Structure 1
Amino acid sequence: MCGIAGWLDWERDLTRESGTVRRMADTLALRGPDDSGVWTATRIGLGHRRLAVIDPELGRQPMTERGGDDGRELAVVSFSGEIHNYRELRTELTTRGHRFRTASDTEVLLAAHREWGPKAIERFAGMFAYALWDIAEQTLYLGRDPLGVKPLYYAEHPSGLVFGSEPKALFASGLIRPEVDAEGLVDVFTVAAKRPGDAVYRGVRQLRPGHLLTVRRGATTARRYWQLTTAPHEDDEATTVATVRSLLDRIVGEQTVADVPLGALLSGGIDSSAITAIGAAALAADDRGPLATYSVDFAGSEDDFRADALHVSRDAPYVRAVVDHVGTKHSEVLVEPASLLAESGVTLRARDYPGVGDLDVSLYLLFREVRRHLTVALSGEGADDAFGGYPWFASEAERPSGSFPWSAGVKDRNAVLSPELRGHLDLHERLDARYREALDEVPYLDGESGVDRRMREVYYLQHTRFLPFLLDRKDRMSMANGLEVRVPFCDHRLVEYVWNVPWRLKRLGGSEKGLLRAAVEDALPAEVVHRPKSGFPVGQSPEYLESVRTAVSDMIESDGPAMRLLDAGTLRAMVRDQAWVNGTFTPPPILPRALQLDDWLTAYDVRVVL
């Protein structure tokens, strides 16, 4: 994985702007610490920061394709991510007469574009974002993987557009400035309700997952090349279980390909444990084992842990069970509570906007330690979304909430907003509107009704709203450390199949993710197969909670920029709430986010436009 950036301009000569393009790319240096490159022509400049994973010696970028008798340049690409089926595509392209000078998937992408044109993207399985400039056509193609694992932002300006892996690259062009309007503030004050394509900042867009953007002089068009397609599921139970396992074996096998050290993230839950077991088997088959695994916990969690609906048990005993059963080389990363607030600014700058407090920081610190030993790590992210792992799946089947399930219990969203902001923004109204918009997109099955219809909606909301929130967090925290994290459960071939499996089969045996558990039960110890869903560890240390309390109190008294948007009385009441200060609960999520909001408005010089 890498960082890409670029500038298209139909009026300015960009051969004179290589310094600007390099500056844009260099904002992404953490994503690509191994190499950098810039390619410019009259109308376009492409920048690249490389994390070398496949063919480290010859896979440098931006990469050009040459052809014809004179060896002229035909196309150039700046590519981030991995095409996991590139070996299969390379074989097919070789039979069609293409010759390769590297072993990289980037060169396969260029050859595929030459062979199949813009439709080549439909053949890619993987996680990727790319900018390809077709020199003969004078056309720019921006492409993003089906599930949106890799980010790609862009913003139009009067004579073209700028783009990059993160918003900071766009701002470095000098053509776009950080501004946020009411719709962007909805994304700041809520979780996982962002419309596909929205990007918090005014005038900045994300290329939607499964889309290809084509930019020609005078015309910009977006084509959706992949989407969830609804059809009756005709496989019986045994076939369904076997198909899921077969897909996982194939996908994980593809994703263990790397020319650098590779390992896995392990929590002791069914998702990461399944990937660990299958990945370890794939490495062993190639005589590349044992698999290195990493888990995270908080120092003092034995005393501080308190179970709740999303965190039912500590990970450590289950991690040990998997390590002993599979035979991995394991390391535990311990997070010190004092670092949670201290590193908050680092994670803010990784995201480019406020995140989710200690959940970001602990993940960032895990990835930082993993990167000292590995370049690539496999993750179980996405299994809950495909197979139904969160508590709200079962509750929605019994009592539909009529809202985004993960936030249906929030009572007064507007209480934290300042009186002035409330005059411009009603979070309840905005979220209700977004929820209705999302339901209008759902591809229902003809004749589907009742529980099956509602669960179709919930899974759609999960894939298009909640999962992007998780993938964005994973990408930013990992790439801020130069670590590539692969997500086999987000391979579109698996997602396509499981999408049409009925709710009763996904909940096989009456348990959440029952289908997944059945598919991998032969590879794992029984206690792990039957362990209920337990979320990513959260900071429950009284010291951390007290530090948040003090920091928020200081922010209120100093009347920082965030206080123009926040209600001081509501924040003071949250700070005084001894339930969370004493460690009985984690702090209300708004408190760490409020601190980052204050930092963000200052550090990015954000202009609020209402």
Structure 2
Amino acid sequence: MPPSFPGKDDEVLVSGFILLFQRDTAPPDLPLAERMLERLAHRGPEGAALHRVGCAVLGFQHFETTPQDRGVRQPYIAGDLAIVLDGRLDARQELIARLGLPVKAEETFPDVQLLAMAYQRYGEGVAEHLLGDYAFAIFDATRKGVLFGRDPLGNRTLFYARSPHCFAAASEEQALFPLPFVSQDWNEGTIARFFALDGPRPGETFFAEISELPAAHVMWVERGGEQSRRYWHLPPVPTLRLPSDEAYAESFLERFGESVRDRLRSLGRPAVLMSGGLDSTSVAAVAAREGKEIVSISWVFEELTSCDERPFIDLVNERTGNRPIQIAGDDAWPLRDADSWPWNPNTPIDGLYRRLRERVYRRLQAEGCRTLLTGEFGDNLFPGGVDWLADLVEEGRLIEALRSLLWEFRVPERKVPLGAALLRLASALRNRILRADRVPGGIPDPPPRWLTPHAAALLPHGDDQERALRGKRRPVQHESNLGARATCAAAVETFHSSRFDLELRRPFRDPRLVAFLLDIPAHQLYRRGQTKYILRNAMRGILPEPVRRRRKKTSLFPLFRRGIMEEEIETLRRIVGDRNACWRRFVRAEWIEKDVWDLIRAGRDGPGIVVLWQCVCMERWRKGFSNHHPSSGGASK
């Protein structure tokens, strides 16, 4: 076995793994496996290890984040099994009980050992019995095959490439670059979807010869081939009915509390990234109820006062007793110090406020925090409120429906258009009369107007989009939680936060919560001008009232305007203005030069600003290949 590879002190990511499985009779290529694992060296502050067993070799980069995993080495060997697990198992007590283990196993058994025992009990059906953020590979020497699995929401990543003689998998795409049968040619379909502000199609990546195991899937690989299946399903139509708003709020809080509690299992003090909004303050407040010392970290603004949320942040910190840390944000604008902007070889996707987030991550690294809880993806849970009126009528709550409808007529500014709610009610009544399924229909959206004909032709046809959401009563809510765009966004920010010895954990991105919110009526998502109606009810008595009842969101657009429209305008022109820039193949240049620059000059927000940022990201990503890997051959243009 080769010696452990040292991790870089300034780039530490969550743990990761590689696996090479030889389909033919040749032995697995250990030097190739070493090169693959070296690509993940930034994930291994506690060292790395390779293990060969039969026709497979497994490698792991270690980063410990839970007390039970301290000192545990992977690959983990259990009889004829060799296992690598990237991630965290939740609801451990329930799993331990189902496996017939003593209660004290909760304190001593590492997650990978529980995974091994669960596989020995359930075989290929093991994923149905797991909860958490995870990706795993289990080589079974007896069956001469490998089982791969990924958590229901895809919070951990798993990529693979294959040839007739070899199957390889890894936690990141770049770890597959050393394979002789993998190039760095781009998948133009994924790039077209990127510029259409969508995520990759299930199973696809930005690279033509690298695939991704979709969320909620397992795959069995053996010499004769491979077979994958989806193991986690949600009903398309909500069916849960409870007797009162209070009952819904209580059920939500129970699940939300479990999600937060599971994510507080950590080495060192956990932290919460807290703005003054409803989602992150709810995470911080519920975390404080667990009795642990919580670090609450927030960015604040002295000059851009419209971005500052201290009046709400201070109220929550005073209520919870969490330890507050404030990060100055006035000069953390987009493209600041553009030449040293971090580069992710796996994807062009990046956030506008990278410098702002880096300041938070760097401070928490200095504080010794290894886990950071956020309120991210809270907004994803609650769309679908347009059905609120139809659901009240369907349940026979006609007086409440009438009262809420009269209230909506009196309010000039509504979060959910009243006309849309009335149309959905009419559609529901029509379908009830015709005894048809109440499923939204309509004409698929045309390609965005900023795409070139080449890019538009690469997008799925309308019938493909319609088929993907067919039968879903609230398709927007389904897509925002289970779609590729949300999964991809979660993985991207995890890459960046983890460069600072920090694991992101998102309580709102939990299968228990997603399943619950998709199964309740829409009047719990929106009622009488209140979005996130059930969350606001659940936080009564937990959050300060000004925070719980807050309706207006704070925007960081003034920070964007300071950076892109003032401080970095020449940097922006230099990056985007290149006549050979690859974005021009996908986005109409005349649209950027007229519509978007008009927005910039006027200081207004809009979709064009997002598309412009995508152009910046794509051009920086393209140039990054030649700057960071000059001998790799580069990506196709």
What TM-score do you get using the length of structure 1 for normalisation? Answer: 0.83
SS at match of 2:504: strand
2:482 alignment partner AA: T
Contact 1:32-1:482 within 8 A present in 2 as well: no
Contact 1:129-1:142 within 8 A present in 2 as well: yes
SS at match of 2:146: strand
- 1:318 — aligned with what? 312
SS at match of 2:41: coil
Q: Does 1:253 align with 2:261?
A: yes
Residue by residue over 1:4-61, the C-alpha shift from the partner in whole angstroms, topping out at 9 and shown as x without a partner, is 222222137455x333223222322333323212112342222211221123543221
Contact 1:184-1:202 within 8 A present in 2 as well: no
Contact 1:356-1:589 within 8 A present in 2 as well: no
Paired residue for 1:49, among 61, 69, 74? 61
Unaligned runs of 5+ in 1: 67-73, 306-312, 445-452
Paired residue for 1:64, among 51, 58, 77? 77
| Mapping 1:506-545, distance limit 5 Å | 506-532=525-551, 534=553, 537-538=556-557, 539-545=559-565
Contact 1:298-1:337 within 8 A present in 2 as well: no
Paired residue for 1:151, among 146, 157, 175? 157
- 2:176 — aligned with what? 170
Q: Does 1:10 align with 2:23?
A: yes
Paired residue for 2:50, among 38, 46, 52? 38
Contact 2:264-2:287 within 8 A present in 1 as well: yes
How far did 1:212 drift? 0.6
State how far apart, in whole Å, the 2-side matches of 1:253 and 1:595 are. Answer: 39
SS at match of 1:325: helix
Shift in alpha-carbon separation, 1:437–1:245, aligned structure 2, 3 A: same
1:234 alignment partner AA: R
- 1:448 — aligned with what? none
How far did 1:215 drift? 0.6
Shift in alpha-carbon separation, 1:299–1:64, aligned structure 2, 3 A: farther
SS at match of 1:522: coil
SS at match of 1:542: helix
Contact 1:345-1:599 within 8 A present in 2 as well: no
2:253 alignment partner AA: R
% identical equivalent positions: 21
Q: Which moved more, 1:476-485 or 1:352-361?
A: 352-361
- 1:458 — aligned with what? 476
Shift in alpha-carbon separation, 1:458–1:541, aligned structure 2, 3 A: closer
- 1:125 — aligned with what? 131
State how far apart, in whole Å, the 2-side matches of 1:390 and 1:427 are. Answer: 33
- 2:416 — aligned with what? 394
Q: Does 1:439 align with 2:458?
A: no
SS at match of 1:540: helix
Residue by residue over 1:549-579, the C-alpha shift from the partner in whole angstroms, topping out at 9 and shown as x without a partner, is 32343246653442662554444336743x4
SS at match of 2:531: coil
Q: Does 1:483 align with 2:478?
A: no
Q: Does 1:366 align with 2:360?
A: yes
- 1:499 — aligned with what? 518
Shift in alpha-carbon separation, 1:159–1:116, aligned structure 2, 3 A: same
How far did 1:221 drift? 0.8
State how far apart, in whole Å, the 1-side matches of 2:239 and 2:385 are. Answer: 24
1:262 alignment partner AA: P
Residue by residue over 1:174-205, the C-alpha shift from the partner in whole angstroms, topping out at 9 and shown as x without a partner, is 43111124312213312234322221221322
State how far apart, in whole Å, the 2-side matches of 1:38 and 1:384 are. Answer: 41
2:348 alignment partner AA: P
Contact 1:337-1:544 within 8 A present in 2 as well: no
1:352 alignment partner AA: N
Query: Over aligned residue pairs, what C-alpha RMSD do you find?
Result: 3.4
Unaligned runs of 5+ in 2: 1-13, 387-413, 425-439, 626-632
SS at match of 1:274: helix
Paired residue for 1:185, among 173, 188, 191? 191
1:318 alignment partner AA: F
How far did 1:517 drift? 0.9
- 1:599 — aligned with what? 620
- 1:559 — aligned with what? 579
How far did 1:480 drift? 3.1
Paired residue for 2:379, among 384, 391, 397? 384
State how far apart, in whole Å, the 2-side matches of 1:404 and 1:279 are. Answer: 44
Contact 1:154-1:207 within 8 A present in 2 as well: yes
How far did 1:388 drift? 2.9
Q: Does 1:216 align with 2:222?
A: yes
User: How many equivalent pairs are there?
Assistant: 565
Shift in alpha-carbon separation, 1:554–1:387, aligned structure 2, 3 A: closer
2:282 alignment partner AA: A
How far did 1:280 drift? 1.0
Q: Does 1:142 align with 2:141?
A: no
Contact 2:334-2:560 within 8 A present in 1 as well: no
What TM-score do you get using the length of structure 2 for normalisation? Answer: 0.80
State how far apart, in whole Å, the 2-side matches of 1:139 and 1:296 are. Answer: 49
How far did 1:125 drift? 1.2
State how far apart, in whole Å, the 2-side matches of 1:464 and 1:346 are. Answer: 34
State how far apart, in whole Å, the 2-side matches of 1:321 and 1:215 are. Answer: 53
